[in-house]
Amino acid sequence: MNVLAVREAVKIAMQHAREYGPIMMEMDTYRYHGHSMSDPGITYRSREEVSGVRQARDPVATVKNWLLGPAGATAEEVKELEGQVRKEIDAAVEQAKKELPPPASELTRDIFAGPWVGPPPRMCNIPL
């Protein structure tokens, strides 16, 4: 997945949502691991398949290669950036662990069920 293209698509979706209301985006990605501890993820696909997809389409590696190539970043700069991101993620995980679980009422909050409003959606087959 091209994370830079996703970023641009999300900008367009945010603008649409602000002007017209809810919008749906579908992201197609690939799991490198199974669904759970009892599912190693290699009973229905080979290790070679997983490794091949990781080498060809890993979004993190794609951005890293872009930073080191066309963007002109040094390996040191990328390593520092990775460290900063890791610290940010670790801090967010720790904060999340301290929080109370949300109330059950959150399960059904902000679910869109009304008629479509605004311009027709692009690249999908939603009956209007």
**Residue spans per domain, the chain:** 59-98
Whether residue 76 is predicted with pLDDT greater than 50 in this model: the reply is: yes
Supply the pLDDT for residue 103: 93
122: tokens are: 């692009």
Place of tokens 């662990």: 97
Whether residue 80 is predicted with pLDDT greater than 80 in this model: the reply is: yes
pTM comes to: 0.61
CA 70 to chain centre: 23
Supply the pLDDT for residue 123: 56
Residue 5 or 74, more confident = 74
